[in-house]
Amino acid sequence: MDIPKLFFSKFRRGSGEEKPLNLYQYKFLRYKQNRDRIYPLDMSKIKYGGEEGLVSIIMPVYNGGDMLGEALDSVVAQTYQKFELIVINDGSTDNSSLVAREYAKRDTRITVVDQENMKIPRTLSRGFSMAKGEFYTWTSADNIMPRNYIETMVEALQSDPSLGMVYGNMRLIDAKGRIYRRHGWYEKPIASGNVILPNNAYELNTYANNTIGAAFMYRAEAGGILGEYSRYKHTLEDYDYWMRLNSLFKLRHIKSEEPVYFYRWHSKSLTAQDKKLGITKSRYKLMVLDDFRRDFYLTPLLWSVTGGEEADGFRRALKDAGHILIDSDSMPRLYFGREARNLCVVSFGGGLPEYVPQGAVKVCVMSNTAFVPEGFDVYISQSRENLKHIDGYKGWFYAENSQTMFSLLDAKVKNELLYRMEGVIESEKRYEKRISAIVCTTGTSISLSDCMESLCNQDYNPDNFEIILVNNSPSNESVRDIADKMRKTYPHIEINYLTAPLCGLSFARNTGLWEARGEYILYIDDDAVAERDVLSRTVRAFDEHPEAGVIGGQIILETPNPTPSIVTKETRGLWSELIIDGNLYRTADNYGEFPYGANFAVRTQSLMQIGGFRCTYGRIGDNYGGGEETLVCFMMKEIEKTVGLNPLSKVYHRVDFSRYTNEHIEKTAYAGVMVQYQLRRDLYAPQDWSDRDIAARAEKFDAGKDPNAQYRNAVARAFRDVLKQREKDYEFLRSFGKQNENRN
């Protein structure tokens, strides 16, 4: 395993010293800390209505009649007898259904369902939608449960109400039930056939290796919140599900190190067909998707909440978490495009507002569960009693208080929205335009009209492009006025107006992404003016370089006359100038060459595949953060795309005169270094900074009486603060190791 060494220089493993976390684990733990801080979710305070103590076991089977009887025998023989077994015959052409039905005749706990072949993800989803238990698990028709398996897993969950899921070790067996030795998969001791999995799941989401295995059990509440196994992840449906579960709930290895489950390895098993099915190769794409999901799990949503005093606590909880509350009267003035992808409408009492945008997740909160109002996606009960399941993992859910209800709904709603976006990512694309030009604005740029004019006057066929104007400050209606004016002046140009109430450039850019109908997208700043051939040259570059996911063009800074003295060769880049030498397209092989800012073009499908811009990066309000474009460039490599530079594509950056200040220099330079460190710590950028290297950079940039002292001193201060932050990181790793030395 290739583990980055950045933080390891401070640790020397010796007798009695704790083993430090690696960076993959550290990245996930930082995410979990943030998630738990903003959205605390106590599993003991929520309920999904499962029968207490009942274990629901789903067993999908496809042409497995030769081994099915042995698998069924192992379930029936369990020491823990309070279970239901739902066997779903997924279109088998052998005797699988007959075998299962013979067992069902003898044991009323067994239900058999026959269906056309739907593959494992949809089969599992159907099975768990029928489940009535407090605990969920599933098993394959060729694997074996030792007699105490269910009892062991139930005891592990009951011992800690905070847990969402537990998992344990396995032993591999072959087609004839013999121990399969020397398999090399966490095998301890060697030649034992055992699979001794890691004692924690900190690395599950950040390194492409499924460390959960086939011995697991989770609470019905977690299953209800997560909903379906992804139909888009055949052969990876379990890994994908564990990653989502790990992101939102607490997972733990059971205390026992002994194998508790027998996993059969034979020629027909999916694991044995890894290379043929491309399972391992697809895991890396799954890492990219999950990186996007974790970013989305941390970002705020828009909420419209109807109801009186009973809804006040819920409103306070969402505001305290930094989410945005929209009153129903102002909702019609927001323009979400074809579909709202970050909006939840909550009704305390069961009545919906007169206007609900397409795509909004609709939640009903009621005390009477006997009546189920139509038209909602999620149902929350204000009573713990009579929590009957509603088809489609919709509820009824119960939450003990307002904070718990908000945290539950945040997880449930975000899963609903993410699954829809995953569908868009995986769907076959039929683009209506060749390119979409997206301008994101708060309406404060005096150059916005000039920017729009330059796009409307392109030399490209108007039928082949659209302009999307995204207003990141919807209360500033002057932006809509500009869109209306441009439509009247240029009726042959398709101009779409959208609102993005969540503050931040990445939010606004993603709003444009999901609505764009172009095969390519050009992001251009609201204070930039494009040359007449920018769109045509961008399209041509992508057409000629199908391997490119991102192509950046030149950004030429137009300074005021006279040019302020603080604008020097060394500082010009702080106002997003990007000069590309030569006249030929080339690939940006060095991350120091990555494009950014006012002339940033992407292949739409590639940007969707990585989930868009990360909203935990990028400028928000008056802060000077950035790095979102650099992160996108790094992630192109993960999906096997390149980053290109096109010197023939040019825009002119007309920065407002008020930004030519020493404060702008200091804050932009400082933020730039800190973002570079964040990209490294978050494992997007190469691990090429050592403590010694950072200290040398700080010393190098100390300016003294240099003409660019403001800039150089800010950079030096940033590098010194990076060293301080790294020391905090080291201390976290040390203290966490000490706290968890003996913890499973």
In terms of C-beta density within 10 A (0-12 exposed, 13-18 middle, 19 or more buried), how is residue 115 classed?
A: middle
- What does the mean pLDDT of the chain come to? 92
Check residue 387 and give its pLDDT: 92
509 within 8 A of 495, measured Cβ to Cβ: no
Looking at residue 362, what is its pLDDT? Answer: 97
* pLDDT on residue 709: 87
- Under the banding of pLDDT at 50, 70 and 90, the label for residue 11 is very low
Say what the pLDDT of residue 732 is: 83
- Where does the pLDDT of residue 377 fall: very low under 50, low under 70, confident under 90, or very high at 90 and above? very high
Q: What is the reported pLDDT for 14? A: 34
More confident of the two residues 354 and 531: 531
Per DSSP, helices labelled H in 585-708 are 604-609, 628-638, 662-681, 691-701
pLDDT digits (tens, 9 = 90+) for 604-637: 999 999 999 999 999 887 778 889 999 999 999 9
pLDDT digits (tens, 9 = 90+) for 246-279: 999 999 999 999 999 999 996 655 555 455 544 5
> Do 171 and 194 contact (CB within 8 A), yes or no?
yes
pLDDT tens for each residue of 542-558: 999 999 999 999 999 99
What is the number of alpha carbons within 13 Å of residue 557 lying toward its C-beta?
23
Q: Which range (131-140, 191-200, 308-317, 707-716) has the least confidence?
A: 707-716
Question: What is the reported pLDDT for 1?
Answer: 33
Strand arrangement of the beta sheet that strand 83-90 belongs to: 110-115, 83-90, 51-61, 133-138, 216-219, 163-167, 250-253
Q: How confident is the model at residue 705 (pLDDT cuts 50, 70, 90)?
A: low
Res. 538: pLDDT tops 50:
yes
How much is the pLDDT for 203?
95
Annotate 703-729 with b (16+ C-beta within 10 A) or e (fewer).
beeeebebbbbbbbbbbbbbeeebeeb
* Strands of the 262-264 sheet, one edge to the other: 194-195, 170-173, 262-264
Amino acid at 392: G
CA dihedral for 449, 453, 454, 456, sign (positive or negative): positive
pLDDT in tens, 379-429: 999 999 889 999 899 999 999 999 999 999 999 999 999 999 999 999 998
% of the chain with per-residue pLDDT over 70: 94
C-alpha distances (whole Å) from 707 to each of 320, 373, 563, 668 are 45, 70, 15, 17
- Can you tell me the distance from the alpha carbon of 244 to that of 411, in angstroms, rounded to the nearest whole number? 10
Work out the angle between the directed axes of helices 628-638 and 505-515 (0-180°, nearest 10).
50
pLDDT at 741 over 80: no
Report whether pLDDT(563) > 50: yes
Percent of the chain with pLDDT over 90: 85
User: Residue 728 corresponds to which amino acid?
Assistant: K
Rounded average pLDDT over 565-593:
94
58-88: pLDDT as tens digits: 999 999 999 999 999 999 999 999 999 999 9
pLDDT of residue 706: 72
Rounded Cα distance between 335 and 160, Å, is 46
Contact call for residues 129 and 49 (beta carbons, < 8 A): no
Would you say 291 and 202 are in contact if contact means Cβ atoms under 8 Å apart? no
DSSP code of 595? -
Beta bridge partners of 653: 528, 557
Three-class SS state of 619: coil
Q: Give the model's pLDDT for residue 251.
A: 96
At residue 163, does pLDDT exceed 70?
Answer: yes
Helices first, then strands: H and E counts in the chain: 20, 26
Using alpha carbons, select from 689, 663, 665, 667 the residue that is nearest to residue 676.
Answer: 689
pLDDT-derived band of residue 363, with 50, 70 and 90 as boundaries? Answer: very high
Q: What is the pLDDT of residue 619?
A: 86
Contacts of 532 (CB under 8 A, 6+ apart): 454, 457, 458, 459
Query: Kind of pairing, strands 361-366 and 343-348?
Result: parallel
Please state the pTM of the whole predicted model.
0.94
DSSP helix/strand/coil, 171:
strand
Label residue 742 by pLDDT band (50, 70, 90). very low
Average pLDDT value for residue range 565-592: 94
User: What are the tens digits of pLDDT across the range 659-700?
Assistant: 999 999 999 999 999 999 999 999 999 999 999 999 999 998
Which tens digit of pLDDT belongs to each residue from 465-497? 999 999 999 999 999 999 999 999 999 999 999
C-beta of residue 243 within 8 angstroms of C-beta of residue 205? yes
pLDDT of residue 268: 58
**Domains of the chain by start residue, with CATH:** 46-296 (3.90.550.10), 302-426 (3.40.50), 433-655 (3.90.550.10), 668-744 (no CATH)
Mean pLDDT of 643-653: 98
User: Would you say 295 and 251 are in contact if contact means Cβ atoms under 8 Å apart?
Assistant: no
Q: How far is CA 692 from CA 6, 23, 665, in A?
A: 12, 19, 26
* pLDDT for 734: 77
- Reported as a single tens digit per residue, the pLDDT across 713-729 is 999 999 999 999 999 99
User: Mean pLDDT throughout 510-534?
Assistant: 98
Positive/negative CA dihedral, 345, 348, 351, 355: negative
Q: Are strands 163-167 and 216-219 parallel, antiparallel or unpaired?
A: antiparallel
